[in-house]
Chain A
Amino acid sequence: MAKITYIEHDGTEHVHDGKTGLSVMEVAVKNNVPGIDADCGGACACATCHVYVDPAWLDKTGDKSAMEESMLDFAEGVEPNSRLACQIKITDGLDGIVVRLPESQH
């Protein structure tokens, strides 16, 4: 279990508990957090769950796969701390993680 803070582009915060094994995207979608579209449902096929991971947490989210790297390369507004939320699996070590959402997912 991990507490996850999602911060919308306009600053609105949403805090939700995420079960270990789910992804940061799944917890957002199941709680109707605006700003994470996740069109493909986690298949790493669409890049509509782009988030900016708080730099303090970046190392703990693990490495990006080649597929994620490649999809992110073509998303808008990509920064060094950009991730696809569907590829971040929740662990106890992520308790307290903060992710910020881009203005739009396209």
Chain B
Amino acid sequence: MTSADAHVVIVGAGHAGGTLAALLRQYGHAGAVTLVGEEPIPPYQRPPLSKAWLKGEADAESLALKPLEFYAGNRIDFRPSVRGVSIDRARKVLALSDGSELAYDVLVLATGARPIRLPIPGADLDGIFELRTAADAEALKAALGPGRTMAVVGGGYIGLEAAASARALGADAVVLEREPRILARVAGEVLSNFFCQVHEGHGVRFLTGASVTGFRGEGGKVTGVELADGRVIDCDLALVGVGAVPNQEIAQEAGLAVNRGVVVDLEARTSDPAIFAIGDVTLRPMPIYGRDFRMESVPNALEQAKQVACAITGRPAPAGETPWQWSDQYDIKLQIAGYNFDSDQSLVRGDPASGHFAIFHLKGDQVQAVEAINSPPEFMMGRQLIGSRRPVDKQRLADTSVSMKEVAAA
């Protein structure tokens, strides 16, 4: 526990940083809280950016985690449009991009991740977008519309969600994926095939095994995407969604332990006891899988924000959570629990053709991960089974006439 009047400085005002600032006040922290954010607006939810926001179904107010006046009203010094640039750990001082300095007692790095930019010819043409911030989403939304064609480079969740939103807006979408199937990095083959068929049913085109080598343009504006096999895919705009890298440079330069993310423990503490790190930037332990990894998800950001708020205010550490995430595309709700590590079998419960089914990834008779499509019981019970490590009867798990409660009770 740190002293009750400690000055907590949070670098990064995303979902993790914003949540932590609010939790510190909710948990009764009396000391000063400063929240430094690179973007001009207070913390907001990113998941709707590729979904409801892009389709015009959400506004800035609904996106915001808290209204702007919340911060001043709760003695949170929110500083927008400024970045942390370096840490002097000996003096406990954070240097900011506006030239000023902030002294801290506790520093929390919540710097997030940034989209990978393709180092290929034409990448700086107008009409090429990435999707991480509200400003990115606003620019993309303005470029979309009926009759426009969007090329999506990368068949991951962001690209697929944006493609679904583009179709809803009357635009055409063509997804270019380097791997033999979409979602290759993050989902099993059954789920990839299911989503591919759903999107094709909504008029999205897919080119898999398509390695993008450059962008074509006219008058400084993108007109097409070049593939390694010589084909050129015409487009009016392009969205690049090929993964993200952690914003860990500030930690690395300060000599903190980093390794594909800022290394933290189960309290989200870095190798310096006065510095925590939370959210997408961290490489964290995940005891149920016996390994450390980096997660890009809201639930992870919230869990680590709680860990730090508890550590600072002297509350007992919260119980570990089983990781999960979700995606909405058209009328499909995908809920994923766990990560598919070390599995030796994948078992489908239900019929994919019905639009309600779940894929369980098993290691022996233990559930490692579940991908549930429009199937909350499979998601909720699957998540519990992953956390408890309780063995399951695979025959009963595959039999939809046995309820998930009965499967889990057996």
Contact = CB atoms under 8 A, between A and B. Distances in A.
Interface string A15-26: 000000010001
A67 interface: yes
A46 B335 CA distance: 9
Interface stretch (A36-44, A56-64, A89-97): A36-44
A70 B66 contact: no
Contacts of A37: 302
Bin chain B's interface residue count.
Answer: 20 to 34
A70 B358 CA distance: 15
Contacts of B324: 46
B26, B48, B74, B376: most-surrounded residue (chain A CB, <10 A): B376
A32 to B, nearest CB: 5
Contact of B380 (A22, A32, A39, A74): A74
Contacts, number: 56
B381 interface: yes
Contacts of A31: 70
Nearest to B67: A30
Given A41-B48, A43-B326, A74-B381, A32 B74 contact: yes
B65 interface: yes
A78 B298 CA distance: 25
A47 B335 CA distance: 12
B298 A39 contact: yes
A43 B48 CA distance: 9
Interface of B: 22, 25-26, 45, 47-48, 62, 64-67, 70, 74, 298-299, 302, 319, 321, 324, 326, 328, 333, 335, 374, 376-377, 380-381
Given A29-B65, A67-B376, 12 more contacts: A22-B62, A29-B66, A30-B64, A30-B67, A40-B298, A41-B45, A43-B326, A43-B328, A67-B333, A71-B376, A73-B376, A74-B380
